[in-house]
Structure 1
Amino acid sequence: MAAPSSTRSARSTRTRRVGRPRRAVRARNFEPLAKAGFIARGVVYILIGALALAIALGKPAPEADRTGALQAVAAEPFGKLILWLLVIGFAAMALWRFAQAYYGVRRRGHRGGQEALAAVRGVIYTVFFIGTLRYVLGLPAPHSTNQQTRDFTTTAMAHSYGRILILLVGIVIGVIGLAVIRIGVTKSFLKDLQLGQASRRTREGVEALGTVGNIARGLVYAGVGAFMVDAAATYDASKAKGIDATLRSFAHTPVGPVLLVVVAIGLALFGVYSLAEARWHRKI
């Protein structure tokens, strides 16, 4: 005889309640990966900020993006070791984001879609991991963001609906940039941190780093998106710019290199904020 529906419902509820703690325990096993990932991200942003600052001051430097950062690291005495640590860090971050997507994102003010966003971030860091690993193994460095952007726009414009695709991608990147700026201005990044045990000075310092860093990072993304929209509107692929070219364009504004200096410092501060996030990030 089949069990009543109320009994089956009660069993299902108990199963979910038992399953949640197990999933939470398994999720916590991924926390060390998050720390390694945030440290790797922090190192890269500090390097990008330093490269951008060197460009602003007129000094020779590799392109101010992830590829340039890898090349700068490789030129150092212990560069090979640091690159391997970055490989591990990017792999760790990818796995942790995928774990978030599977087990669920736990944060104050959680909204729908966070798990999907975590999955997208996991894919992005997987690309970073593969590119860095190939470089460490002696293969050519990943294409710079300038080259990737030019290749994408040139290829897209060869098709009938290419301009629409470029326009949409540019709008998406621009919106992401504005969203990141908003995160910095509203300090919503604090929802991802556990600073209850930190001192007041530490909390204020981390808050300042996250605010300035996210605004600087958002400005760069917004700039990349704006240049891509301009390329689509004028049907000129050469107007699309990657992160390095966007940063260099900041030096040609009415205020001169000052804006590039400010953004460069902001990117480096975001790198420091990432290191702080490795210490105080909220559990998965």
Structure 2
Amino acid sequence: MTAQQMGRDAKRHARKATRNPVFRISARAGFVASGLVQVLVGVIAIEIALHHSKASADQSGALGDLAHAPGGPVVLWIVTIGSFALALWLVVSGALATGKDTRSEWGHRIRDWGKGVVYLAIGFTALTFARGGTSSSTHSTQKGSADLLRLPGGPVLLGIVGLGVVVLGVFLIHRGIAKKFVESIRVPSGTAGRATVALGQVGYAARGIAIGVVGVLFVVAAFTADPQKASGLDGALKTFAALPFGAVLLVIIGLGWIGSGVYTVLRARLAILD
């Protein structure tokens, strides 16, 4: 059997696996899990704006709050399994991606694999809390930045990472404003469809703004050689709170994250997994 034939067989088996009903249900559960985390991040952001919370406004803070809620550990295991399943589906989907040309094909692959890494991170964080442990994404981000800064050319590398995150933020904002996300879902008709699209637009824009600020903080950390500046999503959202009228901005962004979470939960049913 030639390498080309082996590649075709591998893709055929992968497609068969992704069409398995159990696999698809698990992947859709991953969207629900992600939506829940986004809603919790939005709620924490609003609480911080109103000075009612000291929790981290990121996935570790959201999952930490969930761990202490009634029935939280059970939900955390569902988040863990769903996130891992969705990450696996995205990795396989990326491997099977096709496009009009090679550039388009690899664009789809990089996008799916990037999302897969994000859901994998959510899964591992949820698993840590589900097993009774604790996690701090802010601490992990700062430690990773410090390790990078110690490398030869570390500040340049960290600056490149920051610029990459800024580009991701801009991409999310554009994806929301231009309604690019509707290509990956089955949009309902009528009012339900319009509401779904509106939630998607607001959600992508809010997430893009917050993630863009995360990238800016990475760039600042690179220029100042201070890893404490790279504080991740929690630091980015708290940066808004420190601005004039920052509380209002943070409430708006928090509402945007809640809208994004609701859209992502809806996406669990509407996503095209073919």
The Cα of 1:66 is off from its aligned counterpart by 0.6
Instruction: State whether residues 101 and 116 of structure 1, in contact with CA within 8 Å, keep that contact through their aligned partners in structure 2.
Output: yes
Match status 1:117 vs 2:111: yes
**Number of residue-to-residue matches in the alignment:** 264
Instruction: State whether residues 97 and 121 of structure 1, in contact with CA within 8 Å, keep that contact through their aligned partners in structure 2.
Output: yes
Q: How does 1:193-272 map to 2 (within 5 A)?
A: 193-195=185-187, 198-272=188-262
> In structure 2, how many angstroms separate the alpha carbons of the residues matched to 1:105 and 1:87?
29
RMSD of equivalent CA atoms: 2.4
TM-score by length of 2: 0.88
Query: Partner letter of residue 82 of structure 1?
Result: V
> In structure 1, how many angstroms separate the alpha carbons of the residues matched to 2:233 and 2:88?
25
Structure 2, gaps ≥5 residues long: none
> In structure 2, how many angstroms separate the alpha carbons of the residues matched to 1:19 and 1:149?
36
Counterparts in 2 of 1:99 and 1:258: CA distance versus 1, 3 Å? same
> In structure 1, how many angstroms separate the alpha carbons of the residues matched to 2:241 and 2:206?
14
Counterparts in 2 of 1:42 and 1:106: CA distance versus 1, 3 Å? farther
The Cα of 1:19 is off from its aligned counterpart by 9.9
The Cα of 1:128 is off from its aligned counterpart by 2.5
> In structure 1, how many angstroms separate the alpha carbons of the residues matched to 2:224 and 2:244?
23
Instruction: State whether residues 145 and 227 of structure 2, in contact with CA within 8 Å, keep that contact through their aligned partners in structure 1.
Output: yes
| Pairing partner for 1:277 from 253, 263, 267 | 267
| Pairing partner for 1:131 from 122, 125, 132 | 125
The Cα of 1:22 is off from its aligned counterpart by 7.4
> In structure 2, how many angstroms separate the alpha carbons of the residues matched to 1:93 and 1:28?
13
Instruction: State whether residues 26 and 81 of structure 2, in contact with CA within 8 Å, keep that contact through their aligned partners in structure 1.
Output: no
Instruction: State whether residues 42 and 257 of structure 2, in contact with CA within 8 Å, keep that contact through their aligned partners in structure 1.
Output: yes
The Cα of 1:23 is off from its aligned counterpart by 6.2
The Cα of 1:150 is off from its aligned counterpart by 1.5
Structure 1, gaps ≥5 residues long: 1-11
- Give SS of 2:175's match: helix
Match of 1:189 in 2: 181
> In structure 2, how many angstroms separate the alpha carbons of the residues matched to 1:281 and 1:159?
42
Query: Partner letter of residue 227 of structure 2?
Result: A
Residue identity (%): 32
Q: What's the CA shift string for 1:109-166, capped at 9, x where partnerless?
A: x93221233233323322332332232122x32222x212221222222233110111
Q: How does 1:20-59 map to 2 (within 5 A)?
A: 24-29=15-20, 30-59=23-52
- Displacement over 6 Å in runs of 4+: 18-23
- Give SS of 1:111's match: helix
Counterparts in 2 of 1:111 and 1:86: CA distance versus 1, 3 Å? same
Q: How does 1:9-28 map to 2 (within 5 A)?
A: 24-28=15-19
Which structure is larger by alpha-carbon Rg, 1 or 2?
Answer: 1
Query: Partner letter of residue 243 of structure 1?
Result: L
Counterparts in 2 of 1:160 and 1:104: CA distance versus 1, 3 Å? closer
Counterparts in 2 of 1:237 and 1:123: CA distance versus 1, 3 Å? closer
Q: What's the CA shift string for 1:237-261, capped at 9, x where partnerless?
A: 2322211111011112232311100
Match of 1:89 in 2: 82
Query: Partner letter of residue 175 of structure 1?
Result: V
Q: What's the CA shift string for 1:195-247, capped at 9, x where partnerless?
A: 2xx23101100010000000000001100001111121222323222111110
- Give SS of 1:36's match: helix
The Cα of 1:24 is off from its aligned counterpart by 4.8
Instruction: State whether residues 45 and 267 of structure 1, in contact with CA within 8 Å, keep that contact through their aligned partners in structure 2.
Output: yes
Counterparts in 2 of 1:72 and 1:106: CA distance versus 1, 3 Å? farther
Query: Partner letter of residue 267 of structure 2?
Result: E
Counterparts in 2 of 1:22 and 1:166: CA distance versus 1, 3 Å? closer
Counterparts in 2 of 1:22 and 1:234: CA distance versus 1, 3 Å? closer
TM-score by length of 1: 0.85
Match of 1:177 in 2: 169
The Cα of 1:61 is off from its aligned counterpart by 3.8
